[in-house]
Amino acid sequence: MALIIILAILAILVLYFISCQRSFISWQEKIKNALSNIAVQQKSRWDALKQIAKSAKAYKLHEAETLVNLTAARSGKVATSAKEVQASDKDFLAALHNLNVVVEAYPELKADGLYAQTMSSINGYEDKVRLSRQVYNDCVTQYNRLVKQLPSSIVANLLHFTEENYLEFEQASSAMPDLDL
């Protein structure tokens, strides 16, 4: 009788171990998927910016040439880690700032219907990137909770599952903007 109880306990432990391992793998895949979704949205955002840069180039603006080169170089890169996502965001904001400088200097570009339409689509992509970041961080939260909490943390340590990093944002970008008009 004691042997049956010991075997039953061992079977339960093995099943729990397998269940935890599968949960870790499942959450890691969800994190990869969420990161991939961010990369897709970022690429779309870069493509839209490239379209505006090409439109500016049609106006024979020297500054637009630099912007076209920057967006072409950056739009082909796909982020595969949280750090790369953050670097892409930083590059995008710099490129968007450069574009805004060009547009302010050349009002006829701002009057172009393509510019307004593309800026609208960039705003839409920006919302999708924001949502994708939220999904990524939610997945990381669930995974990290599984890695840290007992008894699954024991299985995580045995199988070398470690915490994932959140997408963090620079303090400057999350601070309230100065609206002194």
Please give the structure tokens belonging to residue 143.
């995974």
Would you state the pLDDT for residue 120?
Answer: 81
CA distance 60 to 57: 5
Is 76 part of any domain? yes
In a domain, 28, yes or no: no
Q: Is residue 18 part of a domain?
A: no
Residue 36 to residue 70: CA distance in whole angstroms: 22
User: Across all residues in the chain, what is the average pLDDT?
Assistant: 79
- pLDDT of residue 107 exceeding 90: no
Q: What is the pTM of this model?
A: 0.71
pLDDT band at 94 (very low <50, low <70, confident <90, very high): confident
| Residue 177 covered by a domain | no
- Of the ranges 2-16, 39-53, 110-124, which is most confident? 2-16
The reply to whether 15 falls in a domain is no
| Out of 44-48, 125-129, 161-165, 167-171, least confident range | 167-171
**Domain-located, residue 91:** yes
Residue 2 placed within a domain: no
At 42, list the tokens. 């970022």
Range of the domain at 110: 46-159
d(CA 112, CA 56): 10
Residue 83 confidence (pLDDT)? 75
